Amino acid sequence: MDAVTAEALLDQLAQAAGPEADWQLATYDKLPLNLVRGQGARVQDADGRWYWDLYGGHCVALIGHSHPTWVAMLHAQAQRLGFYSNVVNSSLRAAACKAIVDFAPKNLSRVFLSNSGAEANEVALKLARHHTGRPNIVAMQGGFHGRTLGALAVTASEKYRKYALPEYGNTRFVPFGEPVKLDDSVAAVILEPIQSLAGVATAERGWLHGLRAECDRVGALLIFDEVQTAWGRMGANFAADFYGVRVDLLTSAKGTAGGFPVGATLVDDTIARRAKSGDQGSTFGAGPMACAAILATHHVLREEGLVAHAAAFGQHARKVLPVKVRGEGALLGLCLDRPVKPVLATLRERGFVAGGSDDPNVMRLMPPLCTPLSVLDELAEVLREILRA
Ligand SMILES: Cc1ncc(COP(=O)(O)O)c(C=O)c1O
């Protein structure tokens, strides 16, 4: 089948299915958009309207939508070998893992690849417990780490916990940004260095360094959940680099493979050296398509200087936007003097897709790192109009 016929078949099947509510379990609160195409920092709906995607496909479209390099490399790999699991060796997997490790802080010498952020966190928590032989985890109020039971167990918000009632068991929640006292029952502290869903809440650099020192005092590990902050989004390779904090385990997903589902758990060399066969596993993790997508994403990140562009994006936002801006680089919270929901609806009418957060007055921007700075000027103008009205 050629590409044109394949596209036509996809359209025909999509049209024949009718509304997704007839088929998909109703667990999502959806934006009133049916998006069918993406190109760089923009997305197009089924009526042909283009929008600037300041939501970045949920903080995923790191290098932009359907980047030609990403498309070509996935296409090439799909034609060659669509899938084989970790039961065999793969030089492509070696290259993808190397690309990740090369991008990471020096002490993180190995990576375990899975399929989502929740899984990446589960792996980190298991590694921490196994390595220290300790049961307890300290997590932050306001943090979000995913929907699987282990990830939910370290997510404080009742909004997410109440559905599945995960055991609090071994987790102690402490206030984000306030001094933390640990004891030698603690395997690890897990936190988002910037709490995105909580409304892009940031902590002092000094507090993060203090937390590292407290972990060292009792022999606990420090886990950064960089599902959102990784791969240059903050204008530095990772939040760990941005804040200059050494971490023992670093987790990511979202932009790792530019839209192909990949979770990554990066592991400190001391912990990595103790790993042995059978400790962790994932059928789909690190499959050939995922590895091709990781390699394509990293190639574009480097070639197009997107990390530096993300830093410039954050600086420009602070200069031109008519509201208080939280966060760094291309992970920003705009603090409004009113609920963001109606503002987001008006922005969509004006051609911008942006996101909300668990703070009703904070709008989130987490666009592709290639988003032109001029989009912020346009957004500033429209926001000024909306906020004046
Ligand atoms: C900081 C953080 N950690 C973990 C997750 C869970 O990732 P996933 O939905 O890929 O399981 C998310 C998802 O939004 C997240 O923002």
Structural domain spans, the chain: 3-63+305-388, 70-303
Closest residue CA from atom 1 of ligand 1? 227
* Cα–Cα distance for residue pair 360/362, rounded to 1 Å: 6
Please state whether beta strands 108-114 and 263-268 pair in parallel, antiparallel, or not at all (unpaired). antiparallel
pLDDT at residue 164 in the model: 84
CATH number given to 70-303 = 3.40.640.10
Q: Which CATH number fits domain 3-63+305-388: 3.60.110.10, 3.30.420.40, 1.10.4190.10, 3.90.1150.10?
A: 3.90.1150.10
CA 81 and chain centroid, separation:
27
Q: How far is the CA of 146 from the centre of ligand 1 (A)?
A: 5
Which tokens belong to 180?
Answer: 């933390």
Q: How far is the CA of 284 from the centre of ligand 1 (A)?
A: 18
Closest residue CA from atom 13 of ligand 1? 146
Q: How far is the CA of 157 from the centre of ligand 1 (A)?
A: 14
> Is the separation of the CB atoms in 7 and 71 below 8 Å?
no
pLDDT at residue 168 in the model: 62
* Cα–Cα distance for residue pair 298/218, rounded to 1 Å: 37
pLDDT at residue 278 in the model: 93
Q: How far is the CA of 117 from the centre of ligand 1 (A)?
A: 5
> Is the separation of the CB atoms in 266 and 251 below 8 Å?
yes
Q: What average pLDDT values come out for the chain (389 residues) when binned by 10 residues?
A: 95 94 95 96 98 98 98 98 97 98 98 98 97 97 96 93 79 97 98 98 97 98 98 98 98 98 98 95 97 98 98 98 98 98 98 97 98 98 95
Q: How far is the CA of 247 from the centre of ligand 1 (A)?
A: 19
Residues having CB closer than 6 A to ligand 1 are 116-118, 121, 144-146, 192, 196-197, 225, 227-228, 253
> Is the separation of the CB atoms in 194 and 228 below 8 Å?
yes
Q: How far is the CA of 227 from the centre of ligand 1 (A)?
A: 6
Neighbours of 282 (CB within 10 A): 16
> Is the separation of the CB atoms in 209 and 245 below 8 Å?
yes
Neighbours of 246 (CB within 10 A): 15
Closest residue CA from atom 7 of ligand 1? 117
**183-186: long-range contacts, CB 8 A cutoff, minimum separation 24:** 183/218, 184/134, 184/218, 184/219, 185/134, 185/135, 185/136, 186/134, 186/136, 186/137, 186/138, 186/218, 186/220
Closest residue CA from atom 4 of ligand 1? 145
Residues facing 139 on adjacent strands:
173, 190
pLDDT at residue 222 in the model: 98
Q: DSSP readout, 177-234? A: TS-----TTEEEEEE-SEETTTTSEE--HHHHHHHHHHHHHHT-EEEEE-TTTTTTTT
Which tokens belong to 192?
Answer: 């988002």
Comparing 3-63+305-388 with 70-303, is the CATH topology the same? no
Closest by CA position to 285, among listed 95, 131, 91, 119: 119
Atom of ligand 1 nearest to the CA of 261: 10
pLDDT at residue 389 in the model: 85
Atom of ligand 1 nearest to the CA of 226: 1
- b/e per residue 11-44 (b: at least 16 CB within 10 A): eeeeeeeeeeeeeeeeeeeeeeeebeebebbbbb
CA 27 and chain centroid, separation:
20
> Cα angle vertex 368, ends 76, 308, to 5°?
100
